[in-house]
Amino acid sequence: MAAVATRPRRSNTRIAGGLILSALALLAVCAASILLGSRTINLAALAQTDLTVILDMRVPRTVLGLLAGAALAVSGTLLQGVARNPLADPGIMGINAGAAVAVVTGILVLGRQATGASVWLAFLGAGAAIAAVYTTASFGREGATPVKLALAGVVVTAVCSSVTSAIVLADADALEELRVWQVGALAGRYWPVVLQVGPYVLVGLVAAMFLARPLNLLALGDALAISLGQHVRRNRTITFVVVAVLCGAATAACGPIAFLGLMVPHLVRLVTGPDYRWILAYSFVLGPLVLLLCDIVGRLVSAPGELQVGVVLGVVGAPVFITIVRLRRGVEL
Amino acid sequence: MFRLERRARTRRALAVTAALAVGAVCAFVVSMMLGSYVLGPGEVLRSVLGLSSDPADDFVVRELRLPRAATAVLVGLALGAAGSVFQRVLRNPLAAPDIIGISAGASTATVAGLVLFGAGGLGLSVAGLAGALATAAAVYLLAWRGGIADYRFVLVGVGVAVLLESVTGYLVSRAEISDARAAMTWLVGSVGMAGGGEIAGLAAGCAVVIPVLMALSRRLGVLELGAEGARGLGLRPQAETAVQLGCAVVLVALATAAAGPIAFVALMAGPIAGRLLGPAGDRVLASALVGSIIVQAADLVAQHVLPYPISTGIVTGLVGAPYIAWLLIRTDRQGVGA
Amino acid sequence: MSEHSLEVAGLTLGYDGADIVSGLSTDIPAGAITAIIGANASGKSTLLRGLSRLLAPRAGQVLLDGVPVHGMRSGDLARLLGLLPQSPVAPSSITVGDLVGRGRYPHQGWFRSWTPADDAAVDEALEATGTADLVSRRVADLSGGQRQRVWIAMALAQDTDILLLDEPTTFLDVNYQIEVLDLLVDLNRDRGKTIVMVLHELSLACRYADHLIAMKDGRIVTEGAPGEVVTAATVEEVFSLRCDVIADPRSGTPLVIPLGRHRLRSARE
């Protein structure tokens, strides 16, 4: 048929090329993440202490950056797609607030020895929060419409942060734990944490790959998606479960890292256009890339101390995000 | 036909607004009756109006309880009016100062003043005021691109909020524990923190800005039709947007400087007032009154329900949020309000 | 010719409150064009939503080849029955080719994503709707008529025997309305598709449909071939409109001439 020749295959090659370049850049950033820091490693003269630093600190930190970056960026993409809302983000959807409330409640009930359990508590809290958001938004005739999801997210965030505030103002230990925890960081999490959350992130990422096609159809609106044979409700629910696993795991390991999930999908769409297969593929790569870059910046700017990656991401990411918003004519999905 | 309906609407609006005003006054009086030393409504009124002869009552009412009660009223009025204006101008039910960075700006400035410069009292309030105004100006300028589009304003605001929140979090994590605690207390927001200067400033702001917004509210109805519709009806939408948002920002900044970022009031007041009023009526005044009732009621709960008093902001988040959830569940196709 | 039968048996539909369609039964003729007509709020769009299982029945059933559609697996049904809603939303910056390609979803498995068969179906859909040269344009940049043809192309790429359309001509200029309806007739003639559409424009419905279903208050007032059912009396009953019905001089189908209060040369006798 004549039309085959006119289909834009060319742009697909370009998008794929960009993906490969990004992957190469990610490799370079991983190497930098292992070598740079308050103690710069010289590969030519590798001392025993260097090896310890690399294996016990830098490598787990980098692996965690890969996992958390991919998890947050992918879950942001999934949320924006399923909520058809460019504002949807793990932070706005109540996940960070849910995790925080679980962490401080743990300290309040169990005392300081709960610190070791905060990974699991955060995981639990994040899951509960997103479940609450989804159920609240699902009531009523139309089910979980985009507007209701966004509002429900704000509601759950408000309740959780109120409880968190009430607890930390009453309990000094909880305040101490929260103020350290609430600035997300990759530092100080060693192999045990990576191994605790890694499997969940991997499972979540694999599941996310299967959601690209349903999201492409959901973008056409519920009526057409149903007409094209989608189980709209079921796929929404699955997407939310995947998001809960990914975000819960990342937040449990690093603390709340705002913004990555909001920013990366917007960045990616500039390159890929609206096809979620590409958007997700790029998010896999760009999420870790951005997160690790910010982490490296945080190590270098205030050496010998460190600036947590959550702070760097806010300060560096916000201008980037605002620029993207200004560049685009419409930010609707 | 329409005339009859309009009359019915006006009557409903008057009745609702009057009822809200009565409710706000009642809450005001009740909040000054309660405490470790319970007073009757007559004693409270006499003392507030300067007719009381009992110096003990006078001291309790005028020195101890009046500042807190007045702050609650004023903060509620300011946040309620401003919130409804934000939501309608930006045509987004999420466009509250809590979400689009204005509260975050006040918070960052205040926490920085507290942690870095050891400021206190009025100095902190000035920092909060400056932070809120500067942030609003920054969001406006960053969102400006040959005009203000509502979605762009909201998205830029969210971006700025994230930036500021991460800075605040960093400051709190680096602070001494006592400063951190003070910062957390401020960040939650409470009407018990305001001093005379803040209250006077807020009162003056409300007295000037709320009537202006009421006078402008008919134009707000036109602005809601979107930029093109508004231009078609003879309004200069960009200038109008700037004026309306500017007024609302001043209210929010003053309220936040006085009581910290009390969550959710600005988000809730507008939709509740809209629901009470139905399709017509002056939503600015009604929203302001609803806001004032919310803050006063929340503060009553915060002060008296638990064995020890908690911050007002905790209650507004805990009680307000479920209310919005209920609205969500009941809403049919469109979502809340805007 | 489409061999699939679509049958409505005692169907009751509604949203939150009262029933909108109540106890409705009819057979949709296979391989024909059926138009559902009726005044606003007569339940015609609701009926279409019921047919396409967007709305679950409160009572009764929609039977496709004798099987209730609400019990069928979504994917299976989507290969037999397609729906074009009234105002579908396209993701911003999507191209025509990509949009039409999304219609292939029901034919793709989890792992086998894009096959030559999909390519062929998309090309055919583009060709049939005359949109082949728009393939790399962005949907947002098209004119109203072009956009509607692209949406129909998407529904065609879905390659179902039965196609349901909710007011496919609304908001279109009159030349585009004719263009879209002609296209639907082509699809019916050349590919034997069963087409069911809600139409606003009565005379166009008479000309283009083989079978009319006239609805009022959630019930069928009358149904049948346009020449048989469209009379001044039925139009008055269904639309509360006094009119003359004459034969269209070019097609012979009924032409509805509304009688207003002004500008008539002579009163009806």
Domain count for chain A = 1
In a domain, A8, yes or no: no
Cis peptide before B271 (omega within 30 of 0): no
C90 pLDDT higher than 60: yes
- pLDDT at position C6: 92
CB atoms closer than 10 angstroms to residue B336: 22
In a domain, A154, yes or no: yes
pLDDT tens figures, B172-191? 888 888 888 888 888 888 88
Contact assessment for residue B250 and residue B78, using Cβ atoms and an 8 Å cutoff: no
Q: Are A331 and B267 a contacting pair at CB < 8 A?
A: no
Contact assessment for residue B162 and residue A317, using Cβ atoms and an 8 Å cutoff: yes
Nearest CA-CA distance, residue C206 and chain A, Å: 27
Q: Is B180 on the interface with A (CB under 8 A)?
A: yes
- Give the CATH number of the domain where residue B279 resides: 1.10.3470.10
Closest residue in A to C74 (Cα) is A229
Contact assessment for residue B294 and residue B124, using Cβ atoms and an 8 Å cutoff: no
Find tokens 């009751």 and name the residue: C12
How far apart CA B320 and CA B294 sit, in angstroms, is 8
Of all residues in chain B, what percent carry a pLDDT higher than 90?
Answer: 29
B204 pLDDT higher than 50: yes
- Give the CATH number of the domain where residue A118 resides: 1.10.3470.10
| ipTM summary value | 0.76
Q: Is A307 on the interface with B (CB under 8 A)?
A: yes
Q: What is the mean pLDDT of residues C109-121?
A: 75
pLDDT tens figures, B207-250? 999 999 988 887 777 777 676 667 766 677 788 888 999 999 99
Nearest CA-CA distance, residue A66 and chain B, Å: 21
Q: Are A147 and B335 a contacting pair at CB < 8 A?
A: yes
A35 pLDDT higher than 80: yes
Q: What is the mean pLDDT of residues B137-156?
A: 82
Residue from the list A217, A229, A274 with its beta carbon closest to the beta carbon of C94: A274
Nearest CA-CA distance, residue B173 and chain A, Å: 5
b/e for C100-122, b at 16 or more Cβ within 10 A?
A: bbbbbbbbbeeeeeeeeebbebb
pLDDT tens figures, B29-79? 998 888 778 888 888 888 888 877 788 888 888 888 889 999 999 999 999
Q: Is A5 on the interface with C (CB under 8 A)?
A: no
Which pLDDT band holds residue A6 (cuts at 50, 70, 90)? very low
Nearest CA-CA distance, residue B230 and chain A, Å: 20
Contact assessment for residue B31 and residue B296, using Cβ atoms and an 8 Å cutoff: yes
How far apart CA A257 and CA A309 sit, in angstroms, is 8
Residue C119: its chain A contacts at CB < 8 A?
4, 7
Domain count for chain B = 1
| Domain containing residue A157 | 21-34+41-331
| Domain containing residue B299 | 2-334
Residue C27 phi, psi dihedral angles, 5° rounding: -110, 130
B101 pLDDT higher than 80: yes
- pLDDT at position B24: 94
Most confident of A65-69, A78-82, A117-121, A162-166: A65-69
H/E run at residue C13: strand C6-14
CA B300 centroid distance within chain: 17
Find tokens 């007509």 and name the residue: C37
* SS3 category, A133: helix
Which pLDDT band holds residue C210 (cuts at 50, 70, 90)? very high
Closest residue in A to B139 (Cα) is A322
A330 pLDDT higher than 50: no
- pLDDT at position A5: 37
Structure token digits, residue B224 = 């809601």
- pLDDT at position B163: 87
Candidate from A7-16, A161-170, A226-235, B255-264 with smallest mean pLDDT: A7-16
Q: What is the mean pLDDT of residues A205-217?
A: 91
Q: What is the mean pLDDT of residues C71-90?
A: 84
Q: What is the mean pLDDT of residues C145-153?
A: 89
CB atoms closer than 10 angstroms to residue B155: 24
Contact assessment for residue C121 and residue C67, using Cβ atoms and an 8 Å cutoff: no
Higher pLDDT among residues C29 and C262, named by residue: C29
Which pLDDT band holds residue A2 (cuts at 50, 70, 90)? very low
C269 pLDDT higher than 50: no
Higher pLDDT among residues C210 and A147, named by residue: C210
Q: Are A220 and C110 a contacting pair at CB < 8 A?
A: no
Which of residues 211 through 250 in chain A touch C, CB cutoff 8 A? Answer: 213, 216-217, 219-221, 223-224, 226-231
Q: Are C84 and A229 a contacting pair at CB < 8 A?
A: no
Structure token digits, residue A245 = 């696993």
A313 pLDDT higher than 90: no
Q: Are B155 and A180 a contacting pair at CB < 8 A?
A: no
Candidate from A319-333, B307-321, C71-85 with smallest mean pLDDT: A319-333
Q: What is the mean pLDDT of residues A188-202?
A: 86
Average pLDDT, chain B: 84
Nearest to B205 by CA among B251, B256, B242: B251
- pLDDT at position B82: 95
B260 pLDDT higher than 80: yes
Nearest CA-CA distance, residue C129 and chain A, Å: 12
Which of residues 251 through 290 in chain A touch B, CB cutoff 8 A? Answer: 258-259, 262
C203 pLDDT higher than 80: yes
Q: Is A10 on the interface with C (CB under 8 A)?
A: no
Find tokens 């998205």 and name the residue: B155
Nearest to B224 by CA among B215, B214, B211, B235: B235
Q: Is A155 on the interface with B (CB under 8 A)?
A: yes
A42 pLDDT higher than 80: no
- pLDDT at position B229: 65
**Which residue, among C70, C84, C89, would best test binding to A if mutated, counting the most A CBs under 10 Å from its CB?**
C89
Q: Are B159 and A165 a contacting pair at CB < 8 A?
A: no
DSSP 8-state symbol, C95? B
Q: Is C72 on the interface with A (CB under 8 A)?
A: no
Residue A319: its chain B contacts at CB < 8 A?
163
Which of residues 83 through 102 in chain B touch A, CB cutoff 8 A? Answer: 93-94, 99
Nearest CA-CA distance, residue B6 and chain A, Å: 31
Contact assessment for residue C194 and residue C30, using Cβ atoms and an 8 Å cutoff: yes
Surface-to-core class of residue C142, CB atoms within 10 Å of its CB (0-12 exposed, 13-18 middle, 19+ buried): middle
- pLDDT at position A1: 38
For chain A, which chains pass the contact test of at least 3 CB pairs under 8 Å? B, C
b/e for B259-293, b at 16 or more Cβ within 10 A?
A: bbbbbbbbbbbbbbbbebbeeebbbbbbbbbbbbb
pLDDT tens figures, B84-98? 999 888 877 778 888
A181 pLDDT higher than 60: yes
* SS3 category, C147: helix
Q: Are A224 and C85 a contacting pair at CB < 8 A?
A: yes
Q: Are A311 and B158 a contacting pair at CB < 8 A?
A: no
How far apart CA B277 and CA B269 sit, in angstroms, is 12
**How many CA atoms lie less than 13 Å away from A226 in the CB half-sphere?**
20
**Which residue, among B164, B166, B168, B328, would best test binding to A if mutated, counting the most A CBs under 10 Å from its CB?**
B166
Residue A176: its chain B contacts at CB < 8 A?
177
- pLDDT at position A333: 41
Higher pLDDT among residues A255 and C28, named by residue: C28
Surface-to-core class of residue C261, CB atoms within 10 Å of its CB (0-12 exposed, 13-18 middle, 19+ buried): exposed
Which of residues 230 through 259 in chain C touch A, CB cutoff 8 A? Answer: none
Average pLDDT, chain C: 87
Structure token digits, residue B80 = 């309620």
How far apart CA B146 and CA C220 sit, in angstroms, is 54
Q: Are A183 and B169 a contacting pair at CB < 8 A?
A: yes
For chain B, which chains pass the contact test of at least 3 CB pairs under 8 Å? A
How far apart CA A193 and CA A250 sit, in angstroms, is 10
In a domain, A146, yes or no: yes
Q: What is the mean pLDDT of residues C243-258?
A: 90
How far apart CA C147 and CA C141 sit, in angstroms, is 9
A4 pLDDT higher than 70: no
In a domain, A9, yes or no: no
Higher pLDDT among residues A144 and A27, named by residue: A27
Residue C82 phi, psi dihedral angles, 5° rounding: -115, 155
